[in-house]
Homo-oligomer: A and B are copies of this chain.
């Protein structure tokens, strides 16, 4: 019991920290906290439990989840005989995060390229400088692509993988 309480405190602390990390990454804090809760729990978590566990409204959970789903970081699961939606980390959650980072880097680069394309031919010095800048984003992009190969899959909860699979209907 003592350990269980300690674990709960650690979980809440972890969730709070990941909220800050997410905010530093330009993500909504709550999205980071939902993700953190799913990482910590390992097994599927019900929509309502997310709201309760994070002490926020269901509306906030709804929008946080939409963002995480759009990015392919989490999966929604329907259980037969249960009207609530459940969520768990996507099997390739970390690879998906990397893909998102790559996409963001490419968008940044293309903003530079847009200006390069419009430069008059004689503006060679400016073009060189902007291309060096774009090259930076290109280098980051390439590095992240290499990282995709090294990123491992999230660990599933052991108990979870022993359950019968036919009670879940993944969407």
Interface residues of A (CB under 8 A from B): 3, 6-7, 10, 13-14, 17-18, 20-21, 24-26, 39-40, 42, 94, 97-98, 101, 104, 107-108, 111-112, 114-115, 118-120, 122-123, 125-126, 128-130, 132-133, 135-136, 139-140, 142-144, 146-147, 150-155, 157-158
Q: Is the CB of B147 within 8 A of A135?
A: no
Contact status of A129 and B42, CB under 8 A, knowing A10-B118, A25-B26, A143-B150:
yes
Cα–Cα, bound, A10→B140 (Å): 25
- Chain copies in complex: 2
- Interchain Cβ contacts under 8 Å between A and B, 15 examples: A7-B123, A14-B115, A17-B114, A18-B111, A18-B112, A21-B107, A24-B104, A40-B126, A40-B130, A94-B133, A97-B136, A98-B140, A101-B140, A139-B150, A142-B147
Cα–Cα, bound, A120→B5 (Å): 11
Give which listed residue, B21, B42, B111, B153, contacts A108 with CB less than 8 A. Answer: B21
Give the chain B neighbours of A144 by CB distance below 8 A.
Answer: 140, 143
Q: A17-B114, A21-B108 are in contact. List 11 more A-B contacts (CB 8 A).
A: A7-B123, A20-B111, A24-B108, A26-B26, A40-B126, A40-B130, A42-B126, A94-B132, A132-B155, A140-B147, A143-B147
Cα–Cα, bound, A118→B11 (Å): 11
Instruction: Closest B residue to A111 by CB, please name it.
Output: B17
CB distance from A105 to the nearest CB of B (A): 10
CB distance from A46 to the nearest CB of B (A): 19
